[in-house]
Structures are given as C-alpha cells and as structure tokens.
Amino acid sequence: MQIAYIPSLLRQRAIYDLPRGPARFEAYLASMTNEKRDGLDWPFAPLNPMGKEHVPAHYAALLAFHAETIAQQTIAELQAELPPLDCSMRVTLVVVDDALGGWTQHNFTDWAYRFSPILNVKSNWLPVYSWTSVAPTPELVRQALRAAIYRASYRLVHGEAQTLAAMLRQEGAVTRFAGQALLSYSEAELAAMGERITEYLDSREQPTQFAAFYGDEIAREVGYPRLGLPAYAGLVVATKATVVDPISLLTA
C-alpha cells in the first residue's frame, strides 16, 4: 500500500484572503478544478467558501503547530504498521466548516464520511477532515489521520457496510485503532445500551442506523426517530466490543 501526504493547507487558506462574495467563490472553484474546469484535481468540495473569520483562524492554528509535518510523520508510521494492501492513497487535510455558518450539518457530513466511499477510486484522494467546531491539536490530527486511513483500508478488505452490525464493527475497529476519545458510561449503562442496540443490528434503514449510532438527541435534531439511546451509544458500544487487534481485521 502506497500512502502519500500532499500538502494543501496553504492552497485552501488562500481562498479566504478574498472578501466573501463571488470572487471568493470563484477562487474556491479554481482551487480544486483542473485546467479545463471539467473535473476535480483536489478534494476541496467540503470547504465552506463563504466561511467567516473562524475558518482562516482554524487554518492558522493548524499551520502554527505544523499539522502537515505531523501528518507526514503519522503516515510514515502507518506505512510500517499496516499490512500490505493493493491500493494507493493521496492524503490531505481538509478543513470542514461545521460552526457558525450553517454550511455543513456536522452529523450528516460525519455519517457520509464514515460510511460513503470517501476514497476516490479515480484520483485516489483521501481527504482527512479537520472540523472548525473543534480546536485543532497535534493529537487530534494524528487521530484523524489514523482513523481515515484505517477506515479506507478496512473498507478495501470488507467492502461497504450495509447493516448496522457491519457499520458498528467497522467504526469500533476504526475508533480503537485511532485511539479516539469516547464518552464515558458505567458498565450497567453499557450493558443496557448493548441490549437495546441488538434489536436493530440487522437494520438497513438509515434513520434507524443513524439513531442507534448517534443516540436520541442527535437523531431528534435531524428528524429521525428516537430509540431510547444516549449520545453516541452505538459507537461507544462497538468500540468497547472490539477486543481483537484492529490490524488483524485487515488480513481477513
């Protein structure tokens, strides 16, 4: 497996040197399209070209701690850690604005990022999201890189998850491998959540899958039915249930 980090933060950041308006939107389009303007050379579609001052501030924070150097170091570590797979990836950090602008609904975007084919088979781009709603840190960059690259590798081996059970297996392994933080629940709460989620493991319906994964409050915000589950119940239960080495799941 060949993984290369392609720096792009300065290219993205330059969009916000222009005032909000048509000129900035045109710069946004030009930043990612090819010379003929009939295809994408860069995976910048998730950017918010009309982002307010918090967006360039997010780039400034990433650049201040040399996030792209950290990304390159993380990828070098992953190259040695992951088993060989027949694929190549071009990885780059992309800032996604889910704060103050209404451009991006965080959970729908997060859902699509986790479960839709993000690795473009034609260009091999794998964007790694940095959310403006969360102050960036070196550790969060490392975790985001590890999660995205492991997830893409897992999907190459196991294919696209269709049922809630398959989705939870995937994301439990991703979260365990990346070392991402989870909400804390008692053993009794975990047992009750797990028992409740078991009722829906065969579901192929997105509203049910979404509610089981994110919990009632987030489901209610987007108009999906509630299932009697707390925040991120499915993800927490799935991660706790991942007892095997996640790397072993890439050789199945």
pLDDT digits (tens, 9 = 90+) for 206-219: 999 999 999 999 99
Supply the pLDDT for residue 104: 73
Task: Give the number of other Cβ atoms within 10 Å of residue 80's Cβ.
Answer: 6
- The separation between CA 203 and the C-alpha centre of its own chain, rounded to angstroms, equals 22
AA letter at 212: A
Q: How far apart are CA 183 and CA 133, in angstroms?
A: 18
Strand arrangement, sheet containing 2-5: 2-5, 88-96, 125-131
Q: What is the DSSP string of 147-167?
A: HHHHHHHHHHHH----SHHHH
What percentage of the chain reaches a pLDDT higher than 70? 96
Supply the pLDDT for residue 85: 87
What average pLDDT does range 142-170 have in this prediction?
Answer: 96
In the block, tokens 């403006």 appear at 132
Q: How far apart are CA 199 and CA 99, in angstroms?
A: 34
Q: Which residue has the higher pLDDT, 37 or 230?
A: 230
pLDDT digits (tens, 9 = 90+) for 74-127: 999 999 999 988 888 999 999 999 987 656 789 999 999 999 876 665 678 999
Where in the chain are the domains? Answer: 2-158, 164-250
CA-closest candidate to residue 149, choices 212, 214, 210, 80:
80
Residue 47: strand, helix, or coil? coil
Q: Taking every pair of C-alpha atoms in the chain, what is the biggest distance, in angstroms?
A: 59
pLDDT digits (tens, 9 = 90+) for 159-198: 999 999 999 999 999 999 999 999 999 999 999 999 999 9
pLDDT of 231 higher than 80? yes
Residue 70: strand, helix, or coil? helix
Bridge-partner residues for 130, per DSSP? 95
What percentage of the chain reaches a pLDDT higher than 90? 85
